[in-house]
A = this chain, B = another copy of it.
């Protein structure tokens, strides 16, 4: 695949992501494809931004997997968010200093959006702006859902729930192959995201395999029983708001 084609395909993932959050027309799409000023390839386990910094650029994950995480004095790590291709990082972070780290989990291709371009988008492209707002709100919803998972669901439910969420998010940007997705996430990373030890994650995954719910083929996760996995994780995709584009506010049911 030639570099230009690859880059083109990579850019369009941002469009695919945003189209889940509001209708865009051809001019919107074209604008978005041009918005990424430059790209950068990063190795795995490489920090993109560190605590205390004040990032001045907005990045988009084009390929790979990125995590926001906090490190505790004890050395423990909490992954507070995964960013998959299409996700934007630090949309408005320039107003405050970062209180956590952002780093790659796998080799990753990042696209950078200059802040002026972003501001231009927000003031002159209402449909895109609206979609960006929705993205921000859904990000918050994902946080709340993870919080209740960790707080009130059992380890097995948590894990199943996270796998369901990842599947839905990958599917929303067209990165699933039927019921398979290539999430190159380690068991330790799953543990760090769920507040579990990696040993326990390992055992739970084996249980799920034994129950015929999922399977790993290398780094790709194969979901063998999607309804079963959803049930196991009490998963309801409503909070992701994928594909429920309500029209103008006010057109809601009561």
Contacts and interface: CB of A to CB of B under 8 A. Distances in A.
A195 interface: yes
Interface in A47-98: 52-54, 56, 68, 70, 72-73, 76-78, 80-81, 92-97
A85 to B, nearest CB: 22
Contact of A92 (B76, B133, B234, B241): B133
Interface residues of A, number: 54
Interface stretch (A30-38, A145-153, A218-226): A145-153
B80 A241 contact: no
B150 A249 contact: no
A210 interface: no
Copy count, this protein chain? 2
Contacts of A193: 151
Contact of A144 (B70, B73, B148, B246): B70
A95 B144 contact: no
A146 B78 CA distance: 11
A112 interface: no
Interface stretch (A135-143, A174-182, A201-209): A135-143
A56 B95 contact: no
Q: Which of A54, A147, A246, A253 has the most CB of B within 10 A?
A: A147
Interface of A: 52-54, 56, 68, 70, 72-73, 76-78, 80-81, 92-97, 99-100, 130, 133-134, 136-138, 140-141, 143-148, 150-153, 192-195, 234, 238-239, 241, 244, 246, 249-250, 252-254
25 contacts: A52-B253, A53-B252, A54-B249, A54-B250, A54-B252, A56-B249, A68-B144, A70-B145, A72-B234, A78-B147, A78-B148, A80-B144, A92-B133, A92-B137, A94-B249, A95-B134, A96-B138, A96-B141, A97-B238, A97-B241, A97-B246, A99-B144, A99-B145, A140-B140, A146-B147
